[in-house]
Structure 1
Amino acid sequence: METRFSRPQLMFMLLLCLSISNHVFIIPHLIKDAGRDAWISILMAYPPLVLWTFVLFLILKSMGTVPLNQWLNGKIGRTASAALCWGLAVYFLLLGTLIVYDMSLNTKIFFLPKTPNPIIALSFVTLSYFAARFGLKTIIYLSILLLPAVSILGHFVSISTIDSKDYSMLKPFFSEGMSADLRGAIIVFGGSIELLLLVVLQHQLKKPLNFGTILLAMTLLVGLTFGPCVGSLTAFGPNIAGSLRFPAFEQWRLVSLGEYISHVDFLAVFQMMSGSLTRTALQLYLISELVGIRSPVWKQSAMIVAALVMASPSLLKLSDLWVQRMIHDHFYATSFIFGIAVLFILFVVSRLPERGKVRRNGNNRRNAV
């Protein structure tokens, strides 16, 4: 019998897997664009994200417990269904590639400066592959095990650095101008649409998701961007925070335990590794589900290929300046457009009748005549 999961179990996985992207990806680029008003950009992005979440709920309600591939096949046919699923698979592949790259670079900068980057990246994707290979059950249980420790550490660093923070750094409000604030809001929106993965996962749940659960997930994810963003601004100031590669994790360097223990930033790598491992494993699992392969052997092959693609920027030793420029200039705007476009397409599809019902109704009308 296929294992099905509860809503709380799914929430544990979402918070661990997706919050790491909000810490690592969004905040450096958000502060670089919106500066002192980065936290205002997050608040500006939240109302549109609530609307986006409501439309996502309507789509999930239409799907029920039917797998995405099967639901799309019944609505728009196999060809259009395959095109849409492959588009989502490419999106998840890109997300996985970015997290593997950032995780490898973070580990090399802070703790393994003499270890070749390819070794770090290959070791990491190998662990992620084996987690994905054993299925969603392993990823969810791993998230349930790791999330409490990651959450406690997050609160610990926040409380421990209060004396090092100056909240006057958040003023004056709207000092960067409305255009900068809007660019920051687009970054937050584009980085928060990963909840699209729910359309692939809902059929694995015991009960379909309700709007309250989805809204809670989005609210918590936005909150997990807001907290570290405010912490980075008040600890370092907008100028320094905007120049740091990993400002959320740099706060660990401010933590000291008593008079003799001051280097506890290794705990930041535990946080990042926990989120990155489960997130990369989840991306590999989602890709294997979306490409439409039923054979277990070929599914494993698809995961291996995807894992190697995710590790490729580290293996090719791409310039970090070039990668960050591409992400900042293109990724978030593209992700913003992609998230709206895919949701619009899925919403239109959800309003369409089943193709079989259309044929049966047409035949019944002809027979009546």
Structure 2
Amino acid sequence: MQSLVKILIPRQLFMLLILSTGLLNHVILIPNLLTAAGRDSWLSVLLVYPIAIFFSWLIYFIVKKSPKEGLFSLMKQRLGRVFSTILFIPMMLFLLTSCYLTLRDLMIWLSAYFLADAPIFMINIILISVCFLVTLSGIKAMAIASGFLLPIVMLLGFFIAFTNIHHKDPSLLFPVLAEGYAPLMKGAIYGLAGLLEIYVVILLQPYSQEPIKFRQMFVLLLILTGLILGPLSAAIMEFGPTDAVNFRYPAYEQWRILSIGEYISNLDFFALYQWLSGALIRVGLFMYLLCAFFTSKKQPYRLNPKLVVVMYLLLFGLMMIKVETFYFYSAVYDYFLPACMVFFLVQILFSVVLVLVFNKKGDHHGKNSKVETTS
């Protein structure tokens, strides 16, 4: 990544992450948290927040100790192309799998609520074509688009939160730990799976004009936690812990019950704006980062179009494989999210060890060079 020209300020970088990771936390994660912990799911999020702060500090440490080109560029320089590529494979699999799950979940939601009569093939073609154009436009265009999309998405989030306040019964959040500590600990797994995705900051570091600061990481983590905690607690307060668990999209159901007076209702099309904004940026960004692993020499943030076409054809092929909705959601709950939690924990700790080893060897090499010069 030595040829990269820095084009993003940290604020743009974090807006990208809030839109992309926020979709995971706001849409995909909440129903799985409710399934795992029920009424105590909101408490699980509070439980893992201090743990996530510690790991966000470790991520900041990795970014601080890495060169401007980023940790993965450093790994390629120190470990060689073959061995570093082997270490890149888990991250590449995560990016590709996340893109597939995001598109599959979006397609199921669109087919169920908005495009029931539309062919699945047509929905796939449209979604993947738009994501392809987003990736091909480059990371700067995505950052600029996020600057326009995110404020509206957040305003709509506050709008639904305050408009539905008369439906909320805070007493439904209690009593806590009615079924013991097991649901709480189970929910913590899913909470960490969403919050630890801030590891993607390390992938975006090479594109940042300025050094990333810990207080920026702290604010980012706080916002991502709020994106889980807000609609999660609202779903329990509005529908009760039993009905909330039965909803596939609790955040969307909050839009469906929205009404203002006698004549204003059915405003759930605003949810479509939120979902599409997050999904298109998430898939476009993750596919961009995935293609970046295969690009050794980049022009200013432009990927090889042929490479992007090949990766999207692979994604399209995965999307065309017929998967039953029940088995898809079961796989996300039983395998993908727990695996993400383990993956990020291991990846963060492994990255810290690599940074410490590389810096120690660098200092040792510098001292030896200084001794040889003086002698």
Q: TM-score range by the shorter chain?
A: over 0.9
TM-aligned CA distance change 1:251 to 1:358, over 3 Å = same
Is the partner of 2:335 in helix, strand or coil?
helix
Residue 347 (1) aligns with residue 352 (2): yes
Asked if residue 16 in structure 1 is aligned to residue 19 in structure 2, the reply is yes
* 1:330 maps to amino acid: Y
Aligned pairs for 1:137-286 within 5 A: 137-286=140-289
1:132 to 135, 149, 172: 135
Q: Distance in 2 between matches of 1:118 and 1:208?
A: 44
Give the alignment partner of residue 105 of structure 1, picking from 103, 108, 119. 108
Residue 30 (1) aligns with residue 33 (2): yes
Shift of 1:308: 3.5
Which ranges of structure 1 fall in alignment gaps of 5 or more residues? none
> How far off is 1:105 after superposition?
1.1
For the structure 1 residues 50 and 295, does the alpha-carbon distance in structure 2 shift closer, same or farther, using more than 3 Å as the test? closer
Once the two structures are superposed, the pairs formed by residues 72-83 of structure 1 within 5 Å of their partners are 72-83=75-86
Partner Cα distance (1:3, 1:132) in 2: 18
Which whole-Å deviations, capped at 9, do the CAs of 1:55-108 have from their partners, x for residues lacking one?
111100011412343211233333332122232111111111111111111111
The 2-side partners of 1:83 and 1:4 are apart by: 29
For residues 13 and 97 of structure 1, the distance between their equivalents in structure 2, rounded to whole angstroms, comes to 19
Separation in 1, partners of 2:357, 2:97: 30
CA distance in 2, matches of 1:122, 1:335: 28
What CA RMSD, in Å, does the superposition of the two structures yield over aligned residues?
2.3
Q: Superposition pairs for residues 257-336 of structure 1, below 5 Å? A: 257-294=260-297, 299-336=304-341
TM-score (structure 2 length as normaliser): 0.92
Q: Specify the SS of the correspondent of 2:259.
A: coil
1 CA distance for matches of 2:316 and 2:358? 42
Identify unmatched segments of 5+ residues in structure 2: none
SS across alignment from 1:316:
coil
The answer (yes or no) to whether the contact 1:86–1:291 under 8 Å persists in 2 is no
- Percent identical across equivalent pairs? 27
Task: State the alpha-carbon separation in 2 of the partners of residues 220 and 362 from structure 1.
Answer: 46
**CA contact under 8 A between 1:157 and 1:251: conserved in structure 2?**
yes
Change (3 A) 1:309 1:257: farther
Q: How far, CA to CA, are the matches of 1:70 and 1:266 in structure 2?
A: 43
**Partners of 1:240 and 1:361 in 2: CA distance:** 65
Per-residue Cα deviation, 1:233-263 (whole angstroms, up to 9, x for no partner): 1111111111111111110011123322321
Question: Residue 69 of structure 1: which of 55, 67, 72 is its match?
Answer: 72
**Equivalent position amino acid for 2:52 in 1:** L
Contact 1:127/1:277 (<8 A) preserved? yes
- Whether the 8 Å contact between 2:67 and 2:74 is mirrored in structure 1 is no
- In structure 2, what residue type is equivalent to 1:116? P
CA, structure 1 residues 174+309, in 2 after alignment: closer, same or farther (shift >3 Å)?
Answer: farther
Deviation digits for residues 122-176 of structure 1 (CA, Å, limit 9, x no counterpart)? 2112111111112100110110011111111111111111111211110101123
